[in-house]
Amino acid sequence: MAVNNHVRIVLARGWTSTIYVGDDIDKNRVVKALDREDSVCTRNNIKEEVQQHLQALFKVEQRVYEQIAVPEVWPPSLLRYYGTDTRFPRGLVLERAPGGSMFDHLHTLRALLPARPPAAQILTWARQVAEALHFLHNLGILHCDIHTSNFFLDREQNLKLADFGAASIDGEKPLLLYRRTHQRWIQGSETGEWRKDVSVAAEIFAFGCAVWNIEVMRDPFQVLEDREDGEETVRRLQAREMPETEGLVLRRVVEKCWREGYENMGDVLEDIEAFSQVY
């Protein structure tokens, strides 16, 4: 695609956007854009109201990045934001992550290696996610889609948290919620009805699921999901029948995340840093 006589090349496509590189973009940056011509909305003939919803998700992500940019120090574990692209409609200029998503990286590792990632690497990645979430929470932002698909790797295999379209800002209702395998459910004290939780506790719960994912190299309840048995996944989550944690480097941290053992992500980070002293 030519934009103002510059060539833009599609690097990747997602549900809400297309990732571009080009001769007018810094080689260490990309443009994440939602545009009608190349968006997944048009390609899959998604209804107009859904397309409007996706545009709203994109706007939320821009708001989050701009709110993150207010403090003087940008956390290294958050994908860097460089503002908007003046040549491209609804385009965000972001740090390039040459290592791709953690989800894809783990899928490749699982296919190639019989062993899990080294303990030191697991601890580094977990610490980096915890640092990013702790920073966001202090700004009143809940990510609401904590998953390895939204963790990205730089050239040195450092983890960068990104994709904020589903975020809750200052208590606002998010447009989307956590993946089914990472969702915390809570039960009403009076009605007994179950509902999906959106809170710091839900973030910590999902973080525990993501760390389990990193260590085991697959999603929790993946067997059920492969069988398309979503109802059983939800039942187990509601009953807190969580996957086995035997042999995990961060077993205690994961279990505490699932059992409401932490008040905030700062406490989670302290435990991870304590474990890191051993390695």
Task: Name the pLDDT band for 49 (thresholds 50, 70, 90).
Answer: very low
Question: pLDDT band at residue 102, thresholds of 50, 70 and 90?
Answer: very high
Q: Is the pLDDT of residue 99 over 90?
A: yes
112 against 14, higher pLDDT: 112
Q: What is the pLDDT of residues 125-167, one digit of tens each?
A: 999 999 999 999 999 999 999 999 999 999 999 999 999 999 9
pLDDT at res. 17: 79
Average pLDDT, the chain: 88
Secondary structure E strands in the chain: 2-3, 6-13, 18-22, 29-33, 81-84, 91-95, 141-142, 151-153, 159-161, 168-169, 185-187, 194-196
Query: 2-95, which class in CATH?
Result: alpha beta
Determine the residue type at 184: R
Q: Which pLDDT tens digit goes with each residue over 190-245?
A: 788 999 999 999 999 999 999 999 999 999 999 999 899 999 999 999 999 999 99
Contact indicator for 100, 152 with CB cutoff of 8 Å: yes
- pLDDT 10s digits, 14-38: 766 788 888 788 899 999 987 554 4
Query: Does 236 or 117 have the greater pLDDT score?
Result: 236
Here the tokens at position 264 are 């905030």
pLDDT computed for residue 36 by the predictor: 52
- Using CA atoms, how far apart are residues 201 and 245, in angstroms rounded to an integer? 20
**pLDDT at residue 131, rounded to an integer:** 97
In angstroms, the CA 269 to CA 274 distance is 9
pTM of the predicted structure, to 2 decimals: 0.90
Burial (CB < 10 A; 0-12, 13-18, 19+), residue 159, is buried
Specify the domain boundaries for CATH 3.30.200.20 within the chain. Answer: 2-95
Q: What value does the mean pLDDT take over residues 234-263?
A: 96
What is the predicted pLDDT for the residue at 121?
Answer: 94
Residue type, position 111, single letter = A
Where are the domain boundaries for CATH 1.10.510.10 in the chain?
102-276
Q: Is the pLDDT of residue 87 over 70?
A: yes
**Fold exhibited by the domain 102-276:** Transferase(Phosphotransferase); domain 1 (1.10.510)
**pLDDT > 90: percent of the chain:** 65
